[in-house]
Amino acid sequence: MEITVHNPDRYMGDLRQILAQGRKRIGLLIGAGAPASIQYDRKIQRISSKGEPLIPTINGLTKKVLDSLDAKDRKVIADISVELGNDPNIEMILSRVRSFAGIVGSSSIHGCDGDAFDKLAGRICGAIGAVVNPSLPEERNPYTELAAWIGGTDRWHPIEIFTPNYDLLMEEAFERLENPFFDGFSGSFQPFFDPSSISNDDLPPRWTRLWKLHGSLGWAENGAGGIISGQGRTATNLIYPDHLKYDRIQKLPFTALFDRLRKFLTTPDTLLLTCGFSYFDAHISAVIDESLAANPAGSVFAFQYGNLSEEKSSCVLASKRPNMSVYSKDGAMINCIDAPWRLGELPNPDWEVIRGSFWGQRKADDGNGFLLGDFMAFARFFSLTHAEQVVVPEEKETEE
């Protein structure tokens, strides 16, 4: 019986060549798993395996936010959580709080009227903003490695980075390396959002485009219905994933940012690489799905952290779009076919150390597998495309 397998050497060899050449139109979609992959020890202020995620994933975020609220707020949230069931996360809780704020009015539910729920939602948003605002570590890290790769190649087209994250880590990385970027805002005192500049490509290719799909720390309303940036880390006029998100993305600047993602994906010969993105976000996933259907010449490579059986949301898309591939720890879905990984023969003696940049152990007690679903390894793979020789740390070496 013939068994289907995928050879990671083949696909990563092709990708490495694409990344090094600088000719293809490339975009990156960086999700919440990216900052969570950076283990940071706040006591010594360094990246360390003994640390905690620089910004936690949704479960860690929920705990931190709830712990920061006072007893009265936690009591209301506990009552709401009973109604939601199944240990709801902070996004589900915020959605329910905002629902009550819009419909309760002068009545009372759980001891709160509409105005009280609105203020509670504000406190939850402020608490979320406090968790997602750490500064970029001073030492070398995945964000600076990614920024260095972007700035180290003469490109035909600009790199476009799309992210639903609210943090300022990518901005800090670009500024630290003095790499120019554009995020849709213009000005210096109170930078204003300019939607017309997003739809055009007038800036040179060396300027990276950075699109914050759900808003950002530092964004605030200017009192005239517009949005300005540069208002500090305590400005939390963000879109949080709740029931109001669909209504909000129909307005500027969010409609322009989503249109930019759609325009990128429907441009011929484009490649979008995603990492740290779960594909649970229905709005972003819908744009990807619709665009790939409309543009067979566009491609998406989804680098996922878990095993293939755990990455159901991304695999659902890839199962019906042959121009979307999912690369997980133990296997891949390529051309709508899911199969385990199987390493091939070394194409040349130098390839063994190159293989170590995408294949090996994540942890000492872990088995070998595909590494690039981890943002740390993902960024390192990019940065190593500039190297003629790849030197792999001893603990990453594998024998097949």
Identify whether 394 is part of a domain: no
Q: Are residues 36 and 161 in the same domain?
A: yes
Identify whether 51 is part of a domain: no
Domain end among 131, 166, 183: 131
The pLDDT confidence band at residue 255, using thresholds 50, 70 and 90, is confident
Over the stretch 317-376, which tens digit does the pLDDT of each residue have?
999 999 999 999 999 999 999 999 999 888 888 888 889 999 999 887 788 999 999 999
Q: Are residues 312 and 181 in the same domain?
A: yes
Domain end among 96, 131, 166: 131
Domain end among 84, 112, 131: 131
Q: Are residues 20 and 151 in the same domain?
A: yes
Q: Are residues 257 and 311 in the same domain?
A: yes
CA distance 181 to 111: 48
Over the stretch 275-292, which tens digit does the pLDDT of each residue have?
999 998 888 999 999 999
Q: Are residues 31 and 66 in the same domain?
A: no
Q: Are residues 74 and 157 in the same domain?
A: no
**Does residue 219 contact residue 235 with C-beta atoms inside 8 Å?**
yes
Q: Are residues 69 and 169 in the same domain?
A: no
- Domain count for the chain, please give it: 2
Q: Are residues 219 and 266 in the same domain?
A: yes
Identify whether 50 is part of a domain: no
Q: How many residues does the chain have?
A: 400
Identify whether 398 is part of a domain: no
Q: Are residues 170 and 258 in the same domain?
A: yes
Q: Are residues 100 and 203 in the same domain?
A: no
Identify whether 246 is part of a domain: yes
- Expressed as residue numbers, the domain containing 88 is 58-131
The pLDDT confidence band at residue 150, using thresholds 50, 70 and 90, is very high
Q: Out of 34-38, 226-230, 248-252, 316-320, which region has the weakest mean confidence (pLDDT)?
A: 248-252
Identify whether 396 is part of a domain: no
Identify whether 353 is part of a domain: yes
Identify whether 277 is part of a domain: yes
Between 393 and 206, residue with greater pLDDT:
206
Q: Which residues partner with 162 through β-bridges?
A: 29, 211
Q: Are residues 309 and 189 in the same domain?
A: yes
Tell me the backbone φ, ψ of residue 19, rounded to 5 degrees.
Answer: -65, -35
Q: Are residues 125 and 148 in the same domain?
A: no
